[in-house]
Amino acid sequence: MIKAIIIDDEMHCRKTLTMLLKEYCPDVQVVEQCEDAQRGLEAIEKFKPDVVFLDIEMPHTNGFEMLEQFSEIPFTVVFTTGYDQYAIKAFKFSALDYLLKPVEPKELITAVHKIQTQKKLPEAEQFQMLLSKIHNKENVFPKIPVPTFDGYELIPVEQVLVCEADDNYTYFHLKNKKKIIACRMLKEVEEQLNDFPFFVRVHHSYIVNIKEATKYVRGEGGYVIMSDGSSVNVSRSRKETLLKWFTNPKT
């Protein structure tokens, strides 16, 4: 049984989420509902929950400020939010779970399934990444959290050579010859890398770190040779984008 606490200043949101969990996620037991951060902190200390469903926008102390009071966060956090698309991009970048209000049963079931299957808690740096993104501090963290089969791996972006699609997974090829399998489609990886303009989608199956490209060989689409000697095909439809980058490189 998963012990859960709901922290939200709106009573109807707390009641609705409790009802949805009871109906669709019977393995989750809501041990406490709290209307503000202070009561939430007291409940966390008392019940030692496995997961906290945490509203972001609350009076006096918001959800982020509440989390900043922990040196380590010994529970999973699922944010509940009505935030705009920019903030949603921040959640995706940091690879932390969120539910948009009003909460949909399907999304709730997916979030609970992740909790049940995760083998370790998110890293503290992921919460710091999220806060930086929310507060419009661009690229404070030159790392990306990559969801793997047993949790998350924080990878320095400068170490990534190529991201390669494999159905619902993506291979991260690193400079040190290491290969990491990410439980994420290449399209999602592309969204996550948007803040780092030196990553270029050159093919429906490949994203390359253009800083690590040593040569472009012409052809119908051609191909790029990377610093480790590997070659990556370039699709005809994406050739122009790649060549524009070479003529007008971004930092």
- From-to residues of CATH 3.40.50.2300 in the chain: 2-134
Instruction: For residues 55 and 6, give the distance between their C-alpha atoms in angstroms, rounded to a whole number.
Output: 8
Ranges in the chain, pLDDT < 70 = 83-90, 92-95, 119, 121-125, 131-141, 249-251
Architecture (CATH level 2) of domain 2-134 = 3-Layer(aba) Sandwich (3.40)
DSSP state string for 111-167: HHHHHHH-SSPPPHHHHHHHHHHHTT-TTSS-EEEEEETTEEEEEEGGGEEEEEEET
What is the spatial distance between Cα 55 and Cα 11, in angstroms, rounded to a whole number?
A: 12
Give domain 143-247's CATH architecture.
Beta Barrel (2.40)
Q: What is the reported pLDDT for 90?
A: 66
- What pLDDT shows up at residue 96? 75
Exposure b/e, 4-18, CB count within 10 A at least 16 = b: bbbbbbeeebbebbb
- DSSP state letter for 196: -
For the entire predicted model, the pTM comes to 0.60
Q: In which residue ranges of the chain is CATH 2.40.50.1020 found? A: 143-247
Residue pLDDT, tens place only, 52-95: 999 988 888 888 888 888 878 889 888 888 766 656 666 766 66
